[in-house]
Each structure stands twice: as C-alpha cells, then as structure tokens.
Amino acid sequence: MQEPRESIREDFVGLWGRMGSFWGVSPATGRVYGWLLTRAEPQDAEAIREGLDMSRGAVSMACRELQDWQLVSTLRSAGSRRVLYAPETDLERAVRNIVLTRKRREWDPILERLRRWIPELKRDKSHEAAVFLDRLQAIEGMVALVDELSEQFLKGGVLQRLGLKLLVARARRRGGKLRDGGGAT
C-alpha cells in the first residue's frame, strides 16, 4: 500500500504538469518543477528521471527550461561533477519570474508589432483600414495596460504595496485554519 505522502506527491506533480501550459511551459517541465517542490533537498537529473519515469533528454530539457524561467537553480558539491537542481520556493519570486518571462516572450513582441503597424495603418485612408486600425488600437490599449501592470508588479510598485505578500500570508493562514478544522476566512 502506498503511503499518503507518495499519493499526494503524485497528485501534486500531476497538477503541476497540467498547469504548466497555463504559465507557458510543457507538461513535463511543470511535472519536474512540481516534483522538485515535493523534495526536501535538491535533486540530480538521475533522481528526477527515476522519480518521474522520464527520459534523460526530457529531464535535461525540462531543467534547462526551468533555469531559463529562473524557477530552479543549480548547485554543485565540491569535487563532484553532479549537478543538483533546487526549486525556487519563494512564491512571490516564482510568480515574478513567471510574469517576467511571459512578458518578455509574449507581451513585448505583441506591443512592438502593434506600435509599428498602427502608424502605418493611419496612412491608409480606406474604410477597411480604419476598422482594422480601430481594432488594433483597442488591442494595443489592453495589452499596454496589462504590460504596465506587470511592470509595476515587477518593479515592486503599486501592486506590491497592494500586497502579494499579504495575499500569500492570507493563503497560508487560510490553509492553516482549514487544516485545523476551522472555516475559511
């Protein structure tokens, strides 16, 4: 019979695998990050491979992607060639890294193109161009708003003062109350 810890670990890893596409990574990468979060100590690629029954190549690609997202750091013990992977466990830092990477990969290129296309369309005086221009300006306005909010969040501006730390603390308190049998706040 499987220990509850192992059953919960499997469910948690599966959940992170499914959520990976939400934040822009493959399910395998999400599973690796989830699995590392369930471990008390940093793990090497072989342990990850065995723990998740993945190929060496898949583990290597996932770990490289997690490094790009700054969601894992690598450690080496003195005199050893073995690389250990430690997950980012500070929730606020992990969320910031995800937002920064998504911004860099998605919003920045969209805004760059929109801001190049809009002036070009303004020179076209046709009805078709006017409709298209209107739609692009609406998209640019929305993406620019999201971009500005993400910039403020990343700089530690208004959004930080509003309290990601407060939200995390509240989530922890709420989790504690639920564990203790109390109701939600």
**Region 53-76 average pLDDT:** 95
What is the architecture of the domain spanning 4-87?
Orthogonal Bundle (1.10)
Query: Could you give the C-alpha distances from 170 to 38, 116, 160, 164, in angstroms and in order?
Result: 22, 43, 15, 10
Q: How confident is the model at residue 75 (pLDDT cuts 50, 70, 90)?
A: very high
Percent of the chain with pLDDT over 90: 56
pTM of the model: 0.72
Query: 3-state class of 86 per DSSP?
Result: strand
Q: Where are the domains of the chain?
A: 4-87, 91-179
Which ranges constitute the DSSP H helices of 4-126?
4-19, 27-37, 45-52, 56-68, 91-102, 108-122
Q: How confident is the model at residue 182 (pLDDT cuts 50, 70, 90)?
A: very low
172 — pLDDT class (breaks 50, 70, 90) = low
Q: Tell me what pLDDT residue 79 has.
A: 83
Q: Report DSSP state, residue 20.
A: G
- Which of 118, 86, 108 shows the shortest CA–CA distance to 154? 108
Question: What is the sign, positive or negative, of the torsion defined by CA atoms of 18, 20, 23, 25?
Answer: negative
The residues, ordered by sequence, that sit 6+ positions from 58 with a Cβ below 8 Å of its Cβ are 28
Q: 98 in helix, strand or coil? A: helix
Once rounded to an integer, what is the mean pLDDT over residues 135-156?
86
The CA distances from residue 38 to 13, 41, 80, 135, in Å, are 8, 9, 24, 46
Would you call 44 helix, strand, or coil by DSSP? Answer: strand
Using the predicted structure, report yes or no on whether residue 124 has a pLDDT greater than 90: yes
